[in-house]
Amino acid sequence: METYFNIRYEFDKESVHDRIAQQLKKNGADYICVADGVILNTANRDPGYLKVVNGGMFSICDSSFVPLYIRWIYGKHFEQYCGSQIFMDIIRSRKYRMIFMGTSQAILDGLKANLVKENPDVAQMQFVELPFRKVEEFDYPEIARMVEADGADIIWVALGAPKQEIFMSRLKPYLHHGVMIAVGAAFKFFSGTEVSRAPQWMIRCHLEFVHRIFKEPRKQLSRCAGILGSLPRLLWQEWRRKRHNAHIADC
């Protein structure tokens, strides 16, 4: 696990799954953030949200550009591990009981129908629509009782950033078991009812954001503008951090 752009990332996929398994053997619950460009931008503009993002086990890198930036600055090679990929990796592993929370009932129904094809065990798992309300208005003790009565190991949360990360941080103190993972648009991608993920060639060419702009222009253009506005500062700060660390190492 290493910190870049002020976020604690775990890039190694095997380590991600090993640490999930280790956490599930302990008492207490924790959470994993799936940090895309939106989270990177928001966390570096809002210290309180950055504390939430770094308050869990770690973040996985859902941005194809962050590994490029790290390569440019540090010469290190990392890979993206996006939310939809960890989602399907865990679904297909058939290792855990899971609960799926968030978004609309129509999306949840479509998601369940498609996931059963990947993992028949999903047919016996709960898909829970959370009411539309401010993040501070949820009844966290009641949600925790529902999750614990279910016995879920993995709690998937899809409320959109930054709401879903704050939701997990607020639910964590009430849970005695489980790993929460916020997967944003993954529910939509695999429900077959709304936005689909970009074709693989676009993903390989770092053009997934273009696909999403065409699907949700107003929402995605606003997000892209925010990211582009903060990117020069983030790159400059990271380059200075590299210089500073190299100077300390030489002393």
Answer yes or no: is 131 within a domain.
yes
Residue-wise over 90-126: b if at least 16 C-beta within 10 A, else e? bbeeebbebbbbbbbeebbebbbebbeeebeebeebb
- Indicate whether 153 belongs to any domain: yes
DSSP string, 95-162: -S-EEEEES-HHHHHHHHHHHHHH-GGGGGSEEEPPPS--GGGS-HHHHHHHHHHHT-SEEEEES-TT
- Single out the residue of 206, 211, 180 nearest to residue 20, CA to CA: 180
User: Both tokens of residue 194?
Assistant: 């709304």
Q: Which structural domain, as residue segments, surrounds residue 55?
A: 2-196
What's the number of domains the chain is made of? 1
Check residue 23 and report its DSSP letter: H
The answer to whether position 139 is within a domain reads yes
pLDDT at 203: 55
Q: Is 132 exposed, middle or buried (0-12, 13-18, 19+ CB in 10 A)?
A: exposed
Residue type at position 68: L
Residue 225, pLDDT > 70, answer no
CB count within 10 Å of CB 232 equals 9
How far lies 122's CA from each of 7, 116, 117, in Å?
A: 32, 5, 9
Phi and psi torsions of 99, nearest 5°: -130, 140
Who wins on pLDDT, 104 or 225?
A: 104
Output the CA–CA distances (angstroms, integers) from residue 138 to 54, 107, 108, 141, in the order listed. Answer: 22, 21, 19, 9
Question: How far apart, in whole angstroms, are the C-alpha atoms of residue 247 and residue 251?
Answer: 6
Contacts of 98 (CB under 8 A, 6+ apart): 90, 91, 122, 125, 152, 153, 154, 155, 156
Write out pLDDT tens, residues 46-78. 999 999 999 999 999 998 889 999 999 999 999
pLDDT surpasses 90 at 18? yes
- pLDDT tens readout for residues 155-165: 999 999 899 99
Is residue 89 situated within a structural domain? yes
* Helix (H) or strand (E) segment spanning residue 225: helix 217-250
Report the pLDDT averaged over residues 90-117. 95
166 lies in some domain: yes
Nearest in space to 208 (alpha carbons), one of 193, 223, 230: 223
- Is residue 242 one of the residues assigned to a domain? no
Residue 79 lies in a domain: yes
**Interval 172-216: pLDDT, tens:** 999 999 999 999 788 988 998 755 555 665 556 555 555 455 556
Position 228 scores a pLDDT of: 66
Which structure tokens are listed for 68?
């490029």
pLDDT per residue over 107-154, tens digit each? 999 999 999 999 999 999 999 999 889 999 999 999 999 999 999 999
Q: Is residue 220 part of a domain?
A: no
- Selected residue with higher pLDDT from 209 and 245: 245
Distance CA 87, CA 84 (A): 5
Query: Taking Cα atoms as reference points, which of 169, 105, 168, 165 lies closest to residue 131?
Result: 105
